[in-house]
Structure 1
Amino acid sequence: MGSVPAWLLRHQVFVEALEGEGPLGPEFAEQVVERAFIAEKRRMVRDAEGSEVVSETTVIMRLDAVCPAGSRVTVNGRTTYVIVSARQDGGGLPTPDHLEVALQ
């Protein structure tokens, strides 16, 4: 199967990938547009430190999208931040490979 079929990625999200911390706070890459599947559903996730956090939105993107934890994402006109992102890669198996991103 390979990656998630393009016809499922019906929405656009605007991603500013976190590049690190600067003297004035977080530094972000230039904004890019990614095609995505959006699930507006509240759920508990664990952040990078292992704390339980409520995620309001889950976004599915292409596997090679760059969207690490802390990145700024605009979805449906709402700007929020990535709690955690996880690569779902079947390593050549017939799976729908993708990047799953949990947003605040």
Structure 2
Amino acid sequence: MLSEVPPWLLRHRIAVEPYLGDSAYGPQFGERVENVPALVAAVRKQLADKDGRTVLATAQVIAAPDLDCPPGSRVTLPDGRNATAISTASHTAPGLPVPASMEVMCQ
């Protein structure tokens, strides 16, 4: 059984519009989900995006492991800034006393 990151640690609230893919009319997004519990930190970290280009991440989001936020998703941060998800990482450690979480790096 996996334990999740405790809800009391997720002090911020974000909104997420999951990226669904590109169409002839541009990027398509799923329904906006409001009030997603998260822990958001300001960062400055160089990452490779989904196309392999080097980009600068300016926000790190930690949320519950079931967060639907693939790279390319639109994320509204607690300060109202709109950001784009660059990369996601699912953190699990079955059998260890470490909570599962989803990490999203945003530009």
Shift of 1:55: 0.3
Q: For residues 91 and 32 of structure 1, what CA distance do their matches in structure 2 show?
A: 28
Match for residue 24 of structure 1? 25
How many residue pairs align between the two structures?
104
TM-score normalized by the length of structure 2: 0.90
One-letter amino acid matched to 2:18: A
Shift of 1:90: 1.3
Match for residue 50 of structure 1? 52
Shift of 1:100: 0.3
SS at match of 2:43: coil
SS at match of 1:53: strand
Q: Choose the corresponding residue for 2:84, options 69, 81, 84.
A: 81
Task: State the identity as a percent.
Answer: 40
Match for residue 39 of structure 1? 41
| Counterpart check, 1:90 vs 2:97 | no
Q: For residues 8 and 72 of structure 1, what CA distance do their matches in structure 2 show?
A: 23
Shift of 1:92: 4.2
| Root mean square deviation, CA, Å | 1.4
| Counterpart check, 1:100 vs 2:103 | yes
Question: Structure 1: which 4+ aligned runs deviate by more than 4 Å?
Answer: none
Q: For residues 85 and 91 of structure 1, what CA distance do their matches in structure 2 show?
A: 19
Q: For residues 94 and 52 of structure 1, what CA distance do their matches in structure 2 show?
A: 34
Q: For residues 59 and 83 of structure 1, what CA distance do their matches in structure 2 show?
A: 11
Q: Gaps spanning 5+ residues in structure 1: where?
A: none
One-letter amino acid matched to 2:43: K
One-letter amino acid matched to 1:14: A
TM-score normalized by the length of structure 1: 0.92
One-letter amino acid matched to 1:100: E
Shift of 1:81: 0.5
